[in-house]
Amino acid sequence: MSLAETPGLVATTGDAGETTLVVEPGDLIEAATYLRDEEGFNFLSDITAVDYLGWGTHGVSGYIGTAAGRDLNTPMTQGYQATPQPKPKRFAMNYHLLAIGPEPRRVRLQAWLDEGEAVPTVIPVWPTADWHEREAWDLMGVAIDGHPNLKRILLDDDWEGHPLRKDYPIGGEPVRFSGEE
Partner 1 sequence: MTATAPRTGARAPIYEGTRIPSPIPTVLKTSQDVLDTGDVLTVNFGPNHPSTHGVLRLIVDLYGEDVTGIEAVIGYLHTGFEKNMEQKTWWKCITYPERIDYVSFQNNEYVFVGAVEKLLGLEIPPKAVWMRTLLCELNRIHSHLVWLGTSALELGAISMFWYAFREREMILDLSELVTGYRMHTRYFQVGGLAEDIPRGFWPECRKFCDWMPHAIDDYETLLTRNKIWLERTEGLGLLSADDAIALGQSGPVLRASGVDWDIRRSEPYLAYHQVDFRVPVFPEGDVYARYRVHMQEMRESVRIVEQCLDRLENMEGEPWIADDRKVVLPPRHELHTSMESLIHHFKIVTEGFRVPEGEVYFAIESPRGELGCYICSDGGAKPWRVKFRAPSYVALQATATCMTDALIADMIAIVGSLDTVMGEVDR
Chain residues in the site for partner 1 (CB under 8 A) = 15-16, 18, 20, 42-46, 48, 50-52, 55-56, 61-62, 78-82, 84-85, 94, 96, 98, 100, 104, 106, 108, 123, 126-128, 130-131, 139, 148-149, 152-156, 163-164, 170
In the complex, least distance from residue 6 CB atom to partner 1, rounded to whole angstroms: 18
Choose between 31 and 129: whose C-beta lies nearer to partner 1: 129
In the complex, least distance from residue 180 CB atom to partner 1, rounded to whole angstroms: 25
> Which residues contact residue 105 at a Cβ distance below 8 angstroms, ignoring those fewer than 6 apart?
98, 99
Task: Say which amino acid occupies 2.
Answer: S
In the complex, least distance from residue 27 CB atom to partner 1, rounded to whole angstroms: 21
Choose between 157 and 181: whose C-beta lies nearer to partner 1: 157
Q: What's the distance, Cα to Cα, between the start and end of the chain in Å?
A: 68
d(C-alpha 19, C-alpha 16), whole Å: 9
Choose between 9 and 60: whose C-beta lies nearer to partner 1: 60
Choose between 9 and 99: whose C-beta lies nearer to partner 1: 99
In the complex, least distance from residue 130 CB atom to partner 1, rounded to whole angstroms: 5
